[in-house]
């Protein structure tokens, strides 16, 4: 059933590390597209699989709806999957139209 699919997505992620700046990114394992570095647009290396880490923060791109995770003290500059630029101000979220 769909419940099991959702469970797998949440608990199984691929871990990537940027060759250039060392930024750590996790993406759901069902995502076939490899991410590019959200900080420097560099190539990301697959370093392993994880069951999810507690200190990661989820980011969702409003352009391509891609989901990726970064360490919670980091903020992405660009989407890991497209050319969308994230705002550095969280307050702008409140201004989105319904
Ligand atoms: Zn980088
Ligand atoms: Zn995107």
The reported pTM is 0.76
Classify 48 as helix, strand or coil. Answer: strand
Q: How far is the CA of 80 from the centre of ligand 1 (A)?
A: 10
**Residues around ligand 1, an ion, CB closer than 5 A:** 18, 20-21, 23, 37, 39-40, 42
CA–CA gap between residue 24 and residue 22 (Å, rounded)? 6
Ligand nearest to the CA of 80: 2
Q: How far is the CA of 3 from the centre of ligand 1 (A)?
A: 35
pLDDT at residue 12, rounded to an integer: 79
**Residuewise pLDDT in 10s, the chain (98 residues):** 556 555 544 557 899 999 999 999 999 888 888 999 999 999 999 998 876 566 889 999 999 999 999 998 899 999 999 999 998 665 555 555 55
Q: Alpha carbon of 37 to those of 24, 51, 64, 88: distances in Å?
A: 9, 21, 16, 16
Distance of CA 12 to the CA centre of its chain: 13
Domain count along the chain: 1
pLDDT at residue 29, rounded to an integer: 85
Q: How far is the CA of 55 from the centre of ligand 2 (A)?
A: 22
pLDDT at residue 41, rounded to an integer: 96
Domain enclosing residue 76, as ranges: 2-95
Residue 30 has which token pair?
């069902």
Give bridge partners of residue 58 from the DSSP assignment. 69
CA–CA gap between residue 11 and residue 51 (Å, rounded)? 5
Whether the CB-CB separation of 18 and 39 falls below 8 Å is answered with yes
């Amino acid at each position: 059933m769909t419940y099991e699919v959702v469970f797998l997505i949440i608990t199984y992620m691929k871990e990537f590390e940027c060759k250039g700046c060392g930024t750590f990114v996790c993406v759901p394992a069902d995502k076939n597209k490899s991410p590019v570095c959200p900080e420097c647009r560099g190539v990301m290396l697959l370093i392993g699989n994880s069951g999810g880490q507690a200190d990661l923060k989820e980011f969702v791109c409003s352009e391509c709806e891609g989901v990726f995770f970064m360490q919670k003290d980091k903020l992405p500059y660009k989407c890991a999957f497209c050319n969308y630029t994230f705002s550095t101000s969280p307050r702008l979220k409140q201004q989105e139209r319904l």
